[in-house]
Structure 1
Amino acid sequence: YDKTNGLMEIVEPVGPVVGIAPVTNPTFTIVYKVLIALKTRNCIIFSPHPGAHKASVYVVKVLHQATVAAGAPENCIQIIFPKMVLTTGLLHHDKTRFIWATGGPSLVHASYTSGKPALGGGPGNAASLVDETCDMNEAVASIVVSKTFDCGMICATENSVVVVDSVYDNFVTIMKNRGCYFMTSEETKKVVSVLFGEGLRLNIKAVGQTATTLADMAGFEVPENTVVLCGEATEVKFEESMAHEKLTTILGVYRAKDYDDGVRLCKELVTFGGKGHTPVLYTNQNNTDRITKYQNEVPAFHILVNIPSFLGCIGDMYNFRLPPALTITCGTLGGCSSSDNIGQKHLLNIKRVGMRRENMLCFKVPGTIYFKRAILDEAISDLRNSHHRAFIVSDRTTMTSLGHNEKVVKTCERQGIVSTIFDKVISDPTIENVMAGVIEMNIFKPDVIIAVGGGSVMDAAKVMRLFYEYPEQDFKKVTTRFVDIRKCVAGRPPLGKLVMKPQ
């Protein structure tokens, strides 16, 4: 509660939450979603993928036992049998308040079209660009450690690498030394026939397999220490299998003519299969122009520089300001409602109670203030070198009758300043009263205004000066009321010299 500014914020859970768990990484996705749900006091019920049902049930059971033993409600974590009719019913259930989807495009789409608030990730198909200025050993090590983690099943893992021509051969040599096998065109065709089915749909049996297993399934031999199968490609199109998301230890490799051509290829790869998700740039970090070009042209929201794609994208590794999360969204570019790494803030509603508080007010004071006796001569003398015609604004009832205006006139005469008096200001002056003074100003042509009197006289003198110097001003705009002094929309031009002599 911010008592000074009168704002109270009350945090409430959004739940109940429906958690969609994928086949590619069911265990740690469920663990992460449970931790975030419990931290925000949300109950969560999972709909697992049929291909990962047993593993999902096991994880939920372990988490449920530990949670209840720690004092949580009995039904705070639940799981349903993976049938589409049950999942559909759960998505549209009256008590479902929020859907947190991680999975294939059809389930994510179903979540977003359920009529319930939802957040979901999109396809990764991460592309990396390796230029001639990077630390090649570090770049290759980063690519390999990311691609081999969990056998390449994570959506944020590199699926394609674009390498600048001048360092392509060196890149290939270092990759081979790291256990990467560059397939011949014939071997690539064989492994594609295993990895993809009709319409280039992923074969679930090939997802998340080791490189040696994939080679064995495709019918060719590779060294025992092989960790990644690399297939060289030249085009980004539907018919090119290496341009697709592969979710296994197969990496598409492209050769770019130069850096600009590499950016073009990465842009095409991300646009083709992972818009909004994650690209990586391996370059010298002092190349700010190259980094800027990459971030501006490649359509993604999680852009990494010299960081392994998967390990960097999930946050809190290699950059400790990227928020850690295991749901990576793609923003509006990828059809998602957020571009964040999904965490606890997304499972909270915040109720705000605003107490009435008065906005700040302020006023400005003159640059020079003269006070005490006998200051009139001193103040007027300061004007004589730069001002020669004084227009005295006052009122007849008090200032003229008491002789104050005559004192100002005589003081001006002694200092060589010609003066005239407008002593027709009334109490609470009207527009007509002010404009009468402006008419006389236009006749006399003063270069300084002297106001002698109280608040009405001083206010009138200010407005007279404004319309004398800027006759095109709109009086209604100038007098527009505003709640906050900082939000005044009517501009006020700078004014000339205005001397105030309060009484």
Structure 2
Amino acid sequence: MNVEDGISYEIAEVDRLVARARTAQTAFEAGGSQALYDKAALAVGWAIMEPRRNEALARLAVETTGLGNVPDKITKNHRKTLGLLRDIAGVTTFGTISDDPQTGITEIARPIGVIGAVVPSTNPAATPANNIINALKGGNAIVVAPSPKGVASCEMLIGFIHVEFDKLGLDRDLVQMLPAPGSKAKTQRLMETVDRVICTGSQNNVHRAQSCGTPAVAVGAGNVTVIVDETADLRDAAAKIAASKCFDNATSCSSENAVVVVDAVYDDFVAAMAAEGGALVPSGDADDVIARLWPDGHLNRDVIAQDADRMLEALGMTARVPAGTRFLAVETDGIGPDHPLSGEKLSRVLALYRAADFDAAKATAARILSYQGAGHSIGIHTGDDARAVGLGRDMPTCRVIVNQAHTFATGGSFTNGMPFSLSMGCGSWGGNSIDTNLHWRHFIQTTKIVRAIAPREPSLDEIFAGYWSEAGQ
């Protein structure tokens, strides 16, 4: 079989898959009810959360991707799914969702149809499960396109889902994945033939999703910067930053990549960070870390998302840091393409910046986000809430995370009001159509019943009186 014939076969294979999904979705919608959609979503939740299956998925994910660690993947699979199920419990996605006598408009929820979900290897079970639950909650079918390293985990997850579906008499074709081996041609065809694309992962995939011709919801790149000011509880800030940075070996797009500390508390914060296992790498040694972290201009795979001991060995730091070191904080002041520490590192490595005062810290953070990660999020540890609000007014970001461990807060937490999600929209700053966490509302559309109401036409004076008084007629 030549290359052209191979691509034609792959396209036909995807078309058959989508056709089966469309048939299943049509029947799912025709016999739909809120109880049915909720039951299907819960089946997926239990498929990933049942403890033995959760552990199997976590172990397989680490084994096949080489990213993260098993205990944290188990926690992520459990908490992200539990939080999502909490968020959607009681949410109406079938039938009438609003009826407003004042406007005369009744809004009816409708499925989108067949969803195509492109998902990353960093969360090869949790992200697909999140998308699948949301899709079924809205009455859709879904076809998942995993990254090559995520194929095995996605296959196992969907196998568990189908076991639950069989118990309930649900059609397995409601949840499918592109058959292995994955390819760009298959993913491209999927994106072109479904009714909506949901894309989380590399910016190359995001670009392809947003230019495939199908309406797409895609998310931007992370490069989280956190400010620690002179009013912060330094012990609390250091503990939260350490816990967040080390969780699942920094696979999350919400993992802190840079910390900007004001001069008045810099030394005290470094000491607090050391107590949490954060070893300071002075700026004089930064070049050696950079050379080992980007040996050929690309991130070193022996460092990316690895446990602390392996990361330290790959960076030649084992004998140069205290025993019990969990992560590195590398002093730097450079920002931009010639200063790779200012970008996303996908590892237990932080860039540490020193700022004269809060205004200088804010300016540094703005420069970092303008280089990489605009729109995603910024964090601040402070006792002055007005500063957090000021960041929300001035910074190119969709989220300001205040006095929280960033990884656990950005994508939803049981201690904040953000929707549980593994995909964060970054607004116009990040080139995205959404500025919220991906959630159930992105998986439905609505039909509006529009009735006549009493006239509400204002006079010109009601509209222009204030303007005329200032500018004249």
Q: TM-score, normalised by structure 1?
A: 0.69
Maintained 8 Å contact 1:196/1:203 = yes
Kept after mapping to 2: 8 A contact 1:20/1:48 = yes
Deviation, structure 1 residue 281 = 1.0
Instruction: Say yes or no: does 1:36 pair with 2:105.
Output: no
Question: Paired residue for 1:251?
Answer: 350
Aligned-pair CA distance for 1:185: 4.7
CA-to-partner distance for each residue in 1:394-426, whole Å, 9 max, x for gaps? xxxxxxxxxxxxxxxxxxxxxxxxxxxxxxxxx
Please tell me whether the aligned partners of residues 302 and 314 of structure 2 are also in contact (alpha carbons under 8 angstroms).
Answer: no
- Give the Cα–Cα distance (whole angstroms) in 2 for the partners of residues 323 and 60 of structure 1: 24
- The aligned length equals 363
Post-superposition offset of 1:51 = 2.1
Counterpart CA distance in 2 for 1:22 and 1:176 is 33
Residue from 81, 92, 97 that aligns with 2:192:
92
Alignment CA distance shift 1:51-1:488 (3 Å): same
Q: What amino acid maps onto 1:91 in structure 2? A: M
1:409 match: none
Match of 1:272 among 360, 371, 378: 371
Q: Which amino acid aligns with 2:423?
A: T
| Deviation (angstroms), 1:282 | 0.9
- Whether the 8 Å contact between 2:227 and 2:379 is mirrored in structure 1 is yes
Which residue of 2 is the match for residue 334 of structure 1? Answer: 430
* Partner SS, residue 26 of structure 1: coil
Give the match for residue 145 of structure 1.
243
For residues 76-225 of structure 1, the aligned pairs below 5 Å read: 76-80=174-178, 81=180, 82-93=182-193, 96-185=194-283, 188-199=286-297, 201-221=298-318, 222-225=321-324
| Distance in structure 2 (CA, Å) of the matches to 1:69 and 1:88 | 33
Counterpart in 2 of 1:488?
459
Q: Percent identity?
A: 28
> 2:340 is matched with which residue: 229, 241, 258?
241
Choose from 232, 235, 240 the match for 2:331. 232
Is 2:322 the partner of 1:262?
no
* Change in CA separation of 1:8 and 1:143 when aligned onto 2, cut-off 3 Å: same
CA distance in 2, matches of 1:238, 1:3: 52
- Whether 1:69 and 2:161 are equivalent positions in the alignment is no
Equivalent in the alignment of 1:356: 452
| Counterpart residue number, 2:439 | 343
Distance 1:244 1:323 in 2: 26
Between 158-167 and 33-42, report the one with greater CA deviation: 33-42
Which sections of structure 1, spanning at least 5 residues, go unmatched? 360-482, 495-503
Match of 2:414 in 1: 317
Q: How much does 1:60 deviate? A: 2.2
CA contact (8 A) 1:147 1:249 kept: yes
Distance 2:217 2:351 in 1: 30
User: Is 1:55 aligned with 2:153?
Assistant: yes
CA distance in 1, matches of 2:172, 2:221: 35
Counterpart position of 2:401: 304
- Once the two structures are TM-superposed, the CA of residue 237 in structure 1 deviates from its matched residue by 1.8
1: CA distance, partners of 2:217 / 2:367: 26
Where does structure 2 lack aligned partners over 5 or more consecutive residues? 1-95, 466-473
Question: Would the aligned equivalents of 1:191 and 1:215 in 2 still touch at CA under 8 Å?
Answer: no
How far apart are the structure 1 equivalents of 2:162 and 2:354? Answer: 50
Over 4 Å off, 4+ runs: 184-187, 491-494
1:184 shift after superposition: 4.2
Partner amino acid for 2:349? Answer: I
* Letter in structure 2 aligned against 1:280: G
Contact map agreement 2:303 2:315 (CA 8 A) in 1 = no
Superimposed CA distance per residue, residues 108-136 of structure 1 (whole angstroms, 9 cap, x where no aligned partner): 10000001111111111000000001111
Q: Bigger radius of gyration, 1 or 2?
A: 1
CA distance in 2, matches of 1:33, 1:147: 25
Query: Compared with structure 1, are the counterparts of its residues 264 and 4 closer, same or farther at alpha carbon in structure 2 (3 Å cutoff)?
Result: closer
Superposed displacement of residue 197, structure 1? 4.5
CA RMSD in angstroms comes to 2.1
Rate the CA distance shift 1:224–1:8 in 2: closer, same or farther, 3 A. Answer: same
Distance 1:489-1:64 versus aligned 2 partners, 3 A rule:
farther
2:232–2:382 CA contact under 8 A, matched in 1: yes
Higher relative contact order (CA 8 A, sep 6+): 2
**Alpha-carbon distance in structure 2 between the residues aligned to 1:204 and 1:137:** 32
Whether the 8 Å contact between 2:302 and 2:311 is mirrored in structure 1 is: no
Q: Following TM superposition, by how much is the alpha carbon of 1:183 offset from its aligned partner in structure 2, in angstroms?
A: 2.2
Q: Which residue of 2 aligns with 1:461?
A: none
From the superposition, tell whether residues 109 and 492 of structure 1 become closer, same or farther in structure 2 (CA, over 3 Å). closer
**Alignment pair present for 1:25 and 2:117:** no
* Structure number with higher helix proportion: 2
Amino acid in structure 2 at the alignment position of 1:193: A
Secondary structure of the corresponding residue to residue 268 of structure 2: helix
